[in-house]
Chain A
Amino acid sequence: MWKRLRALIVKELLAVWHDKRTRAIVIGPPMIQLVIFSYAATYDITNISLAVLNEDPTPISRELIARFEGAPAFAEVVHLSHIAEIDAAIDSRKAQVVLHLGPDFSRRLMAAPPAPVQIILDGRRSNTALVIQGYANTIISAFNEDWTRDHGMAPPPARLAPRAWFNPNLHSQWMIVPSLMGILTMIVTLILTAVSVARERELGTMEQLLVTPLRPWEITLGKTIPAILIGLGEGTVIAAAAVYWFGVPLTGSVGLLYLSLLVYMLSVIGVGLFISSLARTQQQAVLGAFIFVVPALLLSGFATPIANMPEWLQMATQANPLRHFLVIIQGIFLKTPPIDVVIEGLWPMLIVGLLTLAAAAWLFRRRLY
């Protein structure tokens, strides 16, 4: 039995390797994507284009503006001369944010605080606007602190001391690259497995497989194992890139990393084989794979938090292996997770994997055409 199984596994691996196209797909794109997306997917807002309308050019107002100019997040500073230019600058995207100091700024600062500063933001990208607003508030708070200290006024009674745990400098890549481990391996293995059975059916090689002594569950296993191997291989490369190139800390154990990756691969491959056994043509298999991948990706908590989704949708994401894997892998890299937190995420994936694999094997037997 093991000989038969091994023969099938070797055949599957060779099939992927010998076809120039599939070979290229398994290796090339994931690596390219790893590089490009790790740098592209950033939550940092930098290079902010700032425009300033200062109707009260005094040393004080200039000092406040200088703090914005000096801040690393703000790139170029354009000086406007007229109120009407504010809206035009935002509309045409010349500036993402406009600072407006009125003509009585200095007077109010000295005699009748608070002196108002208008911050006009572009709401087309609301998230960016909120972050920019946060930056601006931080700069103004620092200015306020220095001012109250220099002028002998009473400092605010309580002061906030924020600290970011697990990722003190809020590097986007510390979250993105481990997440890419889940995303890229899912895409490759899912398409490989989803299309494999349907392809063999369409090309007629499935019939040949079925007249061999292999039993249906052995065929299922024989298709699962090569995909797991490929997935583990890719996962390793991405993990290595994360640690050695991007400097993401690996605080959890490597053993736990591979265990989680294995369970995750199992569930993804299960879904892939399930789709494959349902589909009668390759096109249906690919469609099925897309229909799974697109929601799995966008509703996984990768780009947008799960906590922001409505309750019913949050429940539904429990069936998404990527969602659980993201939590686990981010924890393993950044948080040194206690074992019970990891297990909390592992068993849903295990259930999904076993259910889909069983369904695939069963459907397999029934649909021999």
Chain B
Amino acid sequence: MTPINTRSGRRRRLLGLVRKETVQVVRDPSSIAIAFVLPIILLFLFGYGVSLDATDVKVGVVVEAPTPETQGFVNTLSNSPSFDVSVFRHRTSAENDLIAGRLKGVVVLRADFSDRLGRGEEAPIQVLLDGTDPNTARLVQGYVQGAWGKWMEHEALDRGQPIVVPVAAEARVRFNPEVSSRNFLVPGLIAIIMSLIGTLLTALVVSREWERGTMEALMATPITIFELIVGKLIPYFVLGMSGMALSVGMAVWLFEVPLRGSLWVLFSVGAVFMVAALGMGLLISTVARNQMAASQIGIVAAFLPAIMLSGFIFDIGSMPVLIQGLTYILAARYFVSTLQTLFLVGDVWSVIIPDVLGMAAIALFFLLVTARKTRKRLD
């Protein structure tokens, strides 16, 4: 009999557990599905589906009295790639479409528009925005303003009157000059998918063992808690990292997101995050002990916060201070921040190091709590 506390004893038990877990994983298609098929499907769907860029936004222009000037304005709007313009003669039909959600904005050129222009009076242009989507509303307003500026320049040139704009803003966007939302959403998506995988893999599988009683059998062996946790983590860690490699590959080759940071930093940071996510899954399964509860808790504590609170879509800096504080205990928040920097900028250590420390602290916390809660008792 191998004595319990020798190095070789520990190694043998650990290796034995790792082998058993690996065989179990290989024989259980759902784990493979989670680690490989799920990321592919999700990245594919969301890489194409999730976008904040406003292009071809449906707007209506109400031209109550068509004249060369109104035509000029309509043309400027139509030429913009941001808009898909429909022209109306009467306000009511355009407004109905706005209510029904078929238009996101309506620009109104009243009947006296050209007359007032001709007389040198101010001619107001009403812009009605669909406020149910505040983000698109703001973007549309910005684009209409841009088109308006262009149109006024043309008008002024046509009339031979130079337009005097006191201050002109020149915008320069660093790192993402095409301002494509995909370039910042896809790295965030990778973090979400990794969260999902990490927590799902362990939460489901281990809680199933509790439910079926095979965990009891494990407890009856000489294995120590530490070896149990490490032994369960290793195979799922490997699975999870393979899933990450797959996701990064898709991001770079399929979606052409630039990867300006170094690969080894990317995967090292990913490894730290994976441990944190797996640790959380382990804790959930230890606490929940049945799959229904584990899955609910998994969605509530890992997946939904990863979407809402990680900075993936909603800007953390704009949240109330209390909620911002909450995001500090979420590993996904650090991962999203580092991923966005690694992909679009490069190895910016002043961003990466604090993030890694945060994730490592969270990982340590989960593992310690799991170790304390997993006691070798049969209750």
Contact = CB atoms under 8 A, between A and B. Distances in A.
A90 B346 CA distance: 13
Nearest to A196: B292
B315 A158 contact: no
A307 B50 contact: no
Contacts of B280: none
Interface string A132-145: 01101100110110
A361 to B, nearest CB: 22
B149 to A, nearest CB: 9
B350 A92 contact: yes
B309 A40 contact: yes
B317 interface: yes
Interface stretch (A159-167, A231-239, A253-261): A159-167
B125 A161 contact: yes
Given A191-B292, A283-B30, A127 B124 contact: no
Contact of A330 (B30, B132, B136): B132
B157 interface: no
Contact of A341 (B101, B123, B125, B320): B101
B300 to A, nearest CB: 4
A210 B230 CA distance: 43
Given A140-B169, A160-B125, A170-B138, A298 B50 contact: yes
Interface string A290-313: 110111011100011101111001
Contacts of B165: 113-114, 144
B3 to A, nearest CB: 37
Interface string A31-74: 00100110111111111110000000000000010000000000
B101 A158 contact: no
Contacts of A117: 167-170
Nearest to B50: A304
A170 B42 contact: no
Interface stretch (B54-62, B233-241, B248-256, B361-369): B54-62
A66 B23 CA distance: 66
B148 to A, nearest CB: 6
B142 A130 contact: yes
The range of chain A's interface size is 35 or more
Interface string A152-185: 0111111111111111101110110000000000
B286 to A, nearest CB: 13
A286 B204 contact: yes
Interface string B125-144: 11111111111111101101
Interface string B36-67: 00100110011011111111111000000000
Interface stretch (A218-226, A332-340, A351-359): A332-340
A278 interface: no
B131 A166 contact: yes
B25 interface: no
A251 to B, nearest CB: 11
Nearest to A167: B131
B345 A124 contact: yes
A158 B41 CA distance: 49
A127 B52 contact: yes
B61 to A, nearest CB: 13
Q: Helix, strand, loop or mixed for chain A's interface?
A: helix
Given A25-B297, A134-B141, A164-B129, A143 B292 contact: no
B152 A156 contact: yes
B137 A170 contact: yes
A31 to B, nearest CB: 11
The range of chain B's interface size is 35 or more
Interface string B314-333: 11011110110011000000
B315 A175 contact: no
A288 B370 CA distance: 27
A10 interface: no
B247 interface: no
A130 B184 CA distance: 13
Interface stretch (B10-18, B173-181, B270-278): B173-181
Contacts, number: 354
Nearest to B205: A283
A116 interface: yes
A327 B130 CA distance: 13
A25 B296 contact: yes
B122 A129 contact: no
B179 A126 contact: yes
B7 interface: no
A284 interface: yes
A187 interface: yes
B131 A298 contact: no
Contacts of B141: 134, 162
Given A165-B130, A170-B137, A313-B45, A143 B174 contact: no
Contact of B164 (A116, A153, A199): A153
Interface in B285-308: 288, 290-293, 295-297, 299-300, 303-305, 307-308
B166 interface: yes
Nearest to A97: B171
A160 B129 CA distance: 12
B101 to A, nearest CB: 6
Interface in A200-217: none
Contacts of B54: 305, 308
Nearest to B55: A308
A55 to B, nearest CB: 15
Nearest to A173: B134
B309 A290 contact: no
Contacts of B101: 327, 331, 341
A40 B131 CA distance: 19
Contact of A309 (B49, B127, B131): B49
B183 interface: yes
A165 B48 contact: no
Contact of A115 (B167, B184, B208, B322): B167
A195 interface: yes
B215 interface: no
A79 B303 CA distance: 40
A240 interface: no
Given A40-B327, A310-B48, 11 more contacts: A21-B290, A21-B292, A29-B296, A36-B326, A121-B172, A130-B179, A137-B145, A157-B117, A187-B296, A283-B208, A294-B303
7 contacts: A29-B300, A43-B138, A131-B135, A158-B124, A188-B296, A286-B292, A298-B50
Q: What 8 A-B pairs have minimum CB-CB distances, sorted nearest first?
A: A123-B176, A167-B131, A114-B168, A164-B131, A134-B142, A170-B134, A21-B293, A43-B135
